[in-house]
Amino acid sequence: MAGISKQAFHKYNQLKPDYSLQIQSLVNEADLLRQQHPGCGVTKIYDTLQPDWIGRINAIRLLYEYGFKLRRKINYRRTTLPVSSLYCNLIEGMIVNNKNQVWQSDITYYKVGSQFYYLVFIVDVYTRQIIGYHVSDNMRAEGNLKALTQAIEAQHSADLTGLIHHSDRGSQYISVEYIEALEDKGIWISVGKCAYQNAYAERINGIIKNEFLKGWSINNLIQLQRKVKTAVKYYNSKRIHRSLPKYQCPEEFARQLVHLTTQNRPTVIIYTEGNKKLKATSRCLEFYPETEPRAPICPMVI
C-alpha cells in the first residue's frame, strides 16, 4: 500500500470525521489502481475513479498527502542511428478522422540491471491504440519488422492502401525488408527529421516505461516481454486519455467509431511544435480545435 502520512490521516479525520471510510476506500482503490498502473498520476487516478463525495482539487491534495505523488526519472540514450532518407514528412498539417490513416513508430530502450533491451511500438495516431510492439535484446531491424507484421495482422486483412507509416530516420525503418513490407500493402512512407515530428510514438515510449515498467520488478528479458504485454493490454483497454473525447481508453474510442459517420467523427490536426503556423490552427492532441483548420488533407491520392 502507498505510504500513508499520519499527519494527513489525522488532518482529514479531524476535519471530516464522517468521511473516514470514504477516504480509506479511495486510498485502497488508488492503491489497487497503482498496482496495475504504477505510473498513474494523481490527476488520472481521480479521473479514473471519479469519487462522488469529494471534489477534484481536494481529492488530488488528499492523494498527495497519502503518498501517491510520483517521482519522475529523466534519462536519455540514443536508440536509432539517423541516416539520410529520400522520404519526406507527409503528415505535418494532415487532418485525420479515422483509424488506419496514420501510424507512427519508434524504438526505445529499457535497462534491466546492466543490460539494455529495446522496445518497438506502433501506434495509430487517431485512436491512440498500440497496434504493434516487440521487445528484443538488440536494435536490429528484425524487431521493428515483427512489430509491423503484428500491426498489419491486427487489421484482419483490411485494405491499408493509402495508410501513412511515419517514423524517424532510424536505419531500422528504411531497411530493405521494412520498406518492402510497407510497399507490399500500399502503405505510404513518411519520415521526420527530429523527435518532435514523431511525438505520438515518443509519447507511447514514455507512458509504457514511466507509468508501467519502472513500477514493476523486472529481472530479465522474458519478464520484460511479459510486462510489456501486460502494459500494452492495460494501456489499450483501461488507461483513460484526456486527449480523447469523454476521457475514453483507445479501444473504447475505436469501438465508438463504428457507429459514427465520417461527418460526425471528431478530427485532429497533426502538427509539430516547431511549426508556429500550424500550431495556430489547432492545439496538439485535441480533437476539437477552436478554429477552422487551414491545413489541407494530404497527401493527395489519385
Q: What average pLDDT score do residues 208-237 get?
A: 96
CATH of the domain at 206: 3.30.420.10
Query: From CA 63, how far away is CA 46, in angstroms rounded?
Result: 9
Q: Do 49 and 126 share a domain, yes or no? A: no
Q: Which residue has the higher pLDDT, 6 or 174?
A: 174
Q: Do 177 and 232 share a domain, yes or no? A: yes
Q: What average pLDDT score do residues 191-200 get?
A: 83
Q: Do 116 and 218 share a domain, yes or no? A: yes
Phi, psi of 173, deg, nearest 5: -85, -15
In a domain, 282, yes or no: no
Q: What is the pLDDT of residue 75?
A: 54
In a domain, 11, yes or no: yes
In a domain, 245, yes or no: yes
Q: Which domain holds residue 138?
A: 95-254
Quote the number of domains for the chain.
2
Q: Do 249 and 205 share a domain, yes or no? A: yes
How many other C-beta atoms can be found within 10 angstroms of the C-beta atom of residue 214? Answer: 15
Assigned C-alpha cell, 118: 529495446
Q: Do 115 and 204 share a domain, yes or no? A: yes
Q: Do 58 and 169 share a domain, yes or no? A: no
Query: From CA 139, how far away is CA 187, in angstroms rounded?
Result: 23
pLDDT band at 175 (very low <50, low <70, confident <90, very high): confident
Reply yes or no on whether the pLDDT at 300 is more than 70. no
Q: Which residue has the higher pLDDT, 47 or 273?
A: 47
In a domain, 289, yes or no: no
Q: What is the pLDDT of residue 282?
A: 41
Edge-to-edge strand ranges of the sheet holding 130-136: 130-136, 115-124, 102-112, 164-167, 188-191
In a domain, 188, yes or no: yes
pLDDT band at 8 (very low <50, low <70, confident <90, very high): low
Q: Do 59 and 184 share a domain, yes or no? A: no
pLDDT band at 85 (very low <50, low <70, confident <90, very high): low
Q: What average pLDDT score do residues 274-288 get?
A: 46
pLDDT band at 77 (very low <50, low <70, confident <90, very high): low
Q: Which residue has the higher pLDDT, 279 or 223?
A: 223
In a domain, 179, yes or no: yes
Reply yes or no on whether the pLDDT at 195 is more than 60. yes
Q: Which of 254, 269, 286 is the last residue of a domain?
A: 254
Reply yes or no on whether the pLDDT at 38 is more than 90. no
Q: Do 57 and 126 share a domain, yes or no? A: no
Q: Do 131 and 212 share a domain, yes or no? A: yes
- Rounded to the nearest angstrom, the gap between the alpha carbon of residue 210 and the centroid of all alpha carbons in its chain is 11
Q: Which of 26, 45, 65 is the last residue of a domain?
A: 65
Please list the alpha-helical segments (H only) found in the chain. Answer: 6-15, 20-36, 42-49, 56-65, 141-153, 176-184, 199-211, 221-237, 250-257, 276-279
Q: What average pLDDT score do residues 228-253 get?
A: 93
Contacts of 153 (CB under 8 A, 6+ apart): none
Q: What is the pLDDT of residue 25?
A: 76
Reply yes or no on whether the pLDDT at 63 is more than 50. yes
In a domain, 210, yes or no: yes
Query: From CA 236, how far away is CA 250, in angstroms rounded?
Result: 5
In a domain, 82, yes or no: no
Query: From CA 208, how far away is CA 216, in angstroms rounded?
Result: 11
What percent of the chain stands above pLDDT 70?
78
Q: Do 221 and 144 share a domain, yes or no? A: yes
Q: Do 99 and 43 share a domain, yes or no? A: no
Q: Do 229 and 128 share a domain, yes or no? A: yes
**CB-based burial, 278-302: b 16+ in 10 Å, e otherwise:** beebbebbebeeeeebebeeeeeee
Query: 3-class DSSP state for residue 124?
Result: strand
